Structure 1
Amino acid sequence: MSDPIRSFRHFRDVPDGLWRWKNFSPAEIACRGTGQLKLHPEALDKLQALRDRLGKPLIVRSAYRSPEHNRNVGGAPRSKHMDGTAFDIAMSNHDPLAFEAAAREVGFLGFGFYPRSGFIHLDLGPGRVWGERFPVRATAFAAETPPAREAIAQSRTLKGTGAAGVATVGAAGVEVAQEVLAEAQGAILPLVPHLDILRWLFIALALGGIAVAVWARMDDWKKGLR
């Protein structure tokens, strides 16, 4: 028998013993507009299975949406987000082709591709596909850094108030920083073979600046300005 679907007025109301998805927190899955949460165990089991299969963090852009919030963001009238069975996952640290293949293997059936916004929509079905596919990446990803956002989620600090509220803000900041760094790595990696040249170029520029400053001071001294 499958676990029942449960609804909570706020993600902080989820009992500790009920949450079993180690790499995610209730705050990540809750409605961004209201804090409400519809806990769909089957969908979350598949999301955790996808995280385990890929072996790297999943940045959840959107999960559950209350009907009100879904209207406010222009969601489809029958959006799967309102059922708690859909997730929008950022592709900033994933290869879209490998991500889609892994998502299909763990049981996701609905796929929406949003390359301009940088995410893929996943849901439990029915099976369908929409949107323009992501272009093939020209460079590989750099090695992953320890997922600080997930460490905070595991500590359960995102469920509290007061000091835990600071942790919530901190977690959001870490998530944004991770995403920005992941987006930037595609531009940085092609420069890696030229780092030595760039280093010596910067050193030469610095020495040139020092030489100009020394010459200017000596010239002023000769003219009696110093």
Structure 2
Amino acid sequence: MPTTTYAHFRDVPESAWRWPSFSPAEIACRGTGAIKINTEAMDKLQSLRNRLGKPLIVRSAYRSPSHNRAVGGAPASKHMQGTAFDIAMSNHDPIAFAEAARAVGFLGFGTYPRSGFIHIDLGPARSWGEQFPVREVPFVTEIRPAREAIAQSRTLRGTGAAGVATVGAAGVELAQEVLAEAQGAVLPLVPYLDTLRWLFITLALGGIAVAVWARIDDWKKDLR
């Protein structure tokens, strides 16, 4: 198993890193920044990431001997060889994760439900730890209130009323101009049309106010 060690993850050349879903900083020792790259382990980790189709949150990967002692790791921990990873289960179903990890070639499994992660390594084949609680579904489905039907939308009604009233006001104003140029027999109608125009304008302003209020209320109720 080809292994390369660097004193610090910043020393890893870009040309030597071929795992696009991870960075040297994620795999490096949390205590010293040193990194040991085991290409077989990293290839399997990338394959696992590809198989699951979602990010792997690496809680711990390589550990220097001093850091392994500091965190209470096993004296012969696979982490010190760069062949072990602790992966958070916050965005994974533990059962599906374990099945996928076995499928790509990981052999050692340690489950830590209280800490929320699963340890995987290249072997030998073994397992330990408590089982994760069984979930009815892998993740809780996001529930959002049903959107207001367009035909019943208060916003649509308000803007519709405003639009109709605006067109009506413009039409009355045009009728006024036409009648003003007509013969004297129809001139008495002009003042009434002026009142009608202002009525339409008031209706338009009211419709706009209703639309604005309804939109704000929809945002508050998450109906946007």
TM-score, with structure 2 as normaliser? 0.63
Determine if contact 2:92/2:138 at 8 Å carries over to the other structure: no
Match of residue 118 from structure 2: 120
Q: Spell out the pairing of 1:32-111 with structure 2 (5 A cutoff).
A: 32-111=30-109
Match of residue 31 from structure 1: 29
Q: Deviations over 1:18-47 (max 9, x none)?
A: 000010000000000000000100000000
Matched residues, number: 153
Distance 1:50 1:15 in 2: 24
RMSD: 2.3
State the shift of 1:193 in Å: 6.2
Distance 2:61 2:138 in 1: 28
Match of residue 175 from structure 1: none
Q: Structure 2 vs 1, CA of residues 140 and 121 (structure 1 numbering), >3 Å: closer, same or farther?
A: closer
Match of residue 9 from structure 1: 7
State the shift of 1:106 in Å: 0.4
In percent, how many aligned pairs have the same letter? 70
TM-score, with structure 1 as normaliser? 0.63
Distance 2:39 2:66 in 1: 23
Distance 1:140 1:90 in 2: 14
Q: Deviations over 1:157-201 (max 9, x none)?
A: xxxxxxxxxxxxxxxxxxxxxxxxxxxxx4xx47x26688xxxxx
State the shift of 1:138 in Å: 2.8
Counterpart residue identity of residue 7, structure 1 = T
Distance 2:49 2:75 in 1: 29
Segments of 5+ residues of structure 1 without an aligned counterpart are 142-185, 197-202, 207-226
Distance 2:146 2:115 in 1: 31
Counterpart residue identity of residue 95, structure 1 = D
Q: If you compute each CA radius of gyration, which structure gives the higher value, 1 or 2?
A: 2
Determine if contact 2:62/2:80 at 8 Å carries over to the other structure: yes
